[in-house]
A and B are shown apart, each in its own frame.
Chain A
């Protein structure tokens, strides 16, 4: 197949976006009430307002702090426990049903309990986010550590490797792929944790802006907050993707390789 021309793809993307925005703008007030769907120009104006006044940055920074702190905390603990349980077979076997039970619980359902325990401050959102991220990263790390090739370990053992060598030269690097899958999956969930926490109880953050605008029947404000959240999610995803390429250079060469069957 011929390689798609990049400029052509980008031009088509621009046209698609323009089509959506113009249709939205035109149908607003004609096909549907502006009260419910607002209009792109109004949203853009409000977004600009929020940028100029710094409102979006203030609230965005708080949400970002909650999401990133929760992400790091949950991710770190998830990795450590994942590696540990992946190596300690007995403990893993004993805990397995309990972990799965807890895993199947939608973590946002814990939010009310967390409010009781930790109040409505920023720590509640961080802990809620960390809990959600923990399970994703933990399960992926655990699977990754268990999926390590036993033959590769045996070959290193024959070379005289001790437990530490095996852990650092085979187990951890081989689990990295899985860990990153877990981390990348966690990014949107980290935002969910932070935003849900803010929706439930807060006076700061993008989730608060969202709830506050909705409370005042300000659809434009709701859409503007949503766009802020979208931009943040996009940036976080891109950051993890970059980190992934840095951490696993052999994977990049894999995708750049000529395909052959």
Chain B
């Protein structure tokens, strides 16, 4: 657990002086659902720092995914603005990569073909694509499965394939929307470890949405807690765990236990209110 003290010190102050990579300024989003307006989120002020893993946790339906969609430029905010690198987000923010609970692999392409898509879009020559795909499959542990179709893969392998596709076009920011929700607990933990390691290695900025408090704390450098519907930010906390934390052993970590217990007190009322 070395390095926790220093890390804790430098990160104690929630606001940083460096300009944020992504900034939500007074953001609100209203959808029309069957003619009825539905306020998904409101009054969101949030700064995402470059290189950090920011987790967004809260009850389902509190608009966490809405924020990711707006950061990607899939739709506009109805109030406030979303800033990416100092400029308002335009439709289809190419600087971000998206990974969702459903992996959206193309069923008619095999693993290698799926990973190759972003490279083909970039227009790389065939030989280079093949070489890069091979390396990527190795990175995510899919070597030897290049010729398999998605429907022949297990859930975890499909995630790895989606992850490799994401890494193939190397976006500086990764938006992850409950990517591991459908996996069993063991597999989820392994994927958490790999995501943290990979993102630290590659210096990615990550916004990671989850409804699982343990996951939010285990993965995140900072954790944003949402409550209510429409979703608002209840608090933003620094996760008092070192960057090179051992996710497998977190259960025994005092700091981890304390922070999850504290945050649980924030989330529990919202859970009780649902139904």
Contacts and interface: CB of A to CB of B under 8 A. Distances in A.
Contacts of A155: 98, 104
With a 10 A CB-CB cut-off, give which of A151, A155, A174 has the most chain B CB atoms. A155
Contacts of A173: 106, 108-109
Contacts of A156: 117, 121
Nearest to A168: B120
Interface string B66-85: 00000010100000000000
Contacts of A151: 100, 102, 104
B106 A152 contact: yes
B92 A157 contact: yes
A145 to B, nearest CB: 15
A158 B151 contact: no
Nearest to B97: A158
Main secondary structure of the interface of A (DSSP, over half): helix
B108 A160 contact: no
A169 B109 CA distance: 10
B121 A165 contact: yes
Contact of A253 (B93, B98, B109, B152): B152
A253 B151 contact: yes
A91 interface: no
Q: How large is the interface on B (under 10, 10 to 19, 20 to 34, 35 or more residues)?
A: 20 to 34
Contact of A169 (B72, B106, B107): B106
Contacts of B155: none
Interface string A120-162: 0000000000000000000000000000010110111111110
Interface-central residue, A154, A169, A173, A250, by most chain B CB under 10 Å: A250
A160 B117 contact: no
A250 B104 CA distance: 15
A160 B169 contact: yes
A160 B104 contact: no
Given A151-B100, A254-B151, A257-B151, A159 B106 contact: no
Interface of A: 149, 151-152, 154-161, 165, 169-170, 173-174, 176, 248-250, 253-254, 257
Given A158-B72, A257-B152, 10 more contacts: A152-B106, A158-B97, A158-B98, A158-B171, A169-B121, A170-B106, A173-B106, A174-B108, A250-B109, A253-B149
25 contacts: A149-B104, A151-B102, A154-B98, A155-B104, A158-B72, A158-B94, A159-B169, A160-B92, A160-B94, A160-B121, A160-B169, A165-B120, A169-B106, A173-B106, A173-B108, A176-B108, A248-B108, A249-B149, A250-B107, A250-B108, A250-B109, A250-B149, A250-B151, A254-B149, A257-B152
